[in-house]
């Protein structure tokens, strides 16, 4: 009887040892599986980053090619027909730009002056977050195609003007921007720098701020303030 008990005890010990080994192997297998999943997730993330970079590269290449083609076309027109043909081509570019912008952003107002210059009035709400110099989240959707269009006008001059409403600067801003003159100038300068970073010639651009001195509407109410807060882009022949 004692011998049988010893045999049973040995069998139990063997089974417990076997179970312990199985648990150890299971934990090792589980760890390896988790590591494989993490490695796969990193690979997917790297592939997504590469795909995104490839798409940006293709977009930049397409924009560069478009710019080159338009510049060549302008040069050919200038050589073949003189200044009048180049001016006509510029007018065509301005009309195309106006159609593109107003179709994407109906709040943008595009007007034509007697001298042939174009004026774009862009509400500040499409560019900056309220009471700040921070871009809105989708700023690239507006300024990137606009910069591309400006690059297609190598013979034009661009005046970027910031406009504010008539209300005084809030106290928290007064240290850096004592008045709307400084604030409107800072906003115009930031847009100019954005265009320069995207390849628009700095020699073609001038930044200015007019505070509340060129309002679209003279009323002193919220609706007029919203319309008067704008960025003006003048495109001159």
Between helices 83-104 and 2-81, what is the axis angle to 10°?
A: 140
Strands (E), 31-183: 109-112, 118-123, 157-163
The CATH number of the domain where 175 resides is what?
3.30.1330.60
- The number of domains in the chain is 2
Q: Of 51, 81, 111, which marks where a domain is finished?
A: 81
The answer on 76 and 20 residing in a single domain is yes
Q: Which domain holds residue 6?
A: 1-81
The answer on 20 and 37 residing in a single domain is yes
The answer on 130 and 42 residing in a single domain is no
CA distance 91 to 97: 10
CA distance 177 to 158: 25
Alpha carbon dihedral 126, 130, 131, 133, in 10-degree steps, equals: -50
For residue 5, the SS3 value is: helix
The answer on 103 and 42 residing in a single domain is no
Walk along the chain (237 residues) and give the pLDDT tens digit of each residue: 666 556 566 665 665 666 666 667 767 776 776 776 777 667 676 666 656 665 665 655 556 455 545 554 554 444 444 455 555 666 666 677 777 777 777 888 887 776 667 888 999 999 998 878 999 998 998 899 889 888 988 888 999 999 999 898 887 777 888 889 999 999 999 999 999 999 999 999 999 999 999 999 989 899 999 999 999 999 887
Q: What is the pTM of this model?
A: 0.61
The answer on 196 and 214 residing in a single domain is yes
């Amino acid at each position: 009887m004692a011998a049988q008990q010893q045999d049973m005890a040995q069998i139990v010990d063997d089974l417990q040892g076997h179970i312990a080994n199985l648990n150890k192997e299971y934990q090792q297998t589980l760890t390896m599986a988790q590591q494989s999943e993490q490695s796969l997730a990193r690979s997917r993330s790297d592939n997504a980053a590469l795909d995104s970079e490839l798409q940006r590269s293709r977009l930049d290449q397409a924009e560069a090619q478009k710019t080159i083609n338009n510049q060549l076309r302008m040069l050919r027109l200038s050589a073949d027909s003189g200044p009048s043909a180049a001016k006509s081509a510029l007018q065509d570019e301005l009309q195309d730009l106006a159609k593109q912008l107003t179709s994407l952003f109906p709040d943008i107002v595009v007007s034509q002056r007697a001298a042939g210059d174009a004026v774009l009035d862009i509400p500040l709400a499409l560019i900056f977050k309220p009471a700040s110099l921070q871009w809105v989240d989708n700023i690239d959707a507006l300024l990137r195609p606009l910069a591309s269009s400006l690059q297609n006008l190598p013979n034009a001059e661009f005046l970027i003007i910031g406009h504010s409403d008539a209300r005084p600067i809030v106290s928290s801003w007064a240290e850096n921007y004592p008045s709307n003159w400084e604030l409107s100038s800072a906003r115009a300068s930031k847009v100019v720098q954005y265009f320069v970073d995207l390849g628009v010639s700095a020699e073609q651009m001038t930044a200015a701020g007019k505070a509340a001195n060129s309002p679209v509407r003279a009323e002193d109410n919220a609706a007029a303030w919203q319309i008067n807060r704008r960025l003006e882009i003048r495109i001159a022949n």
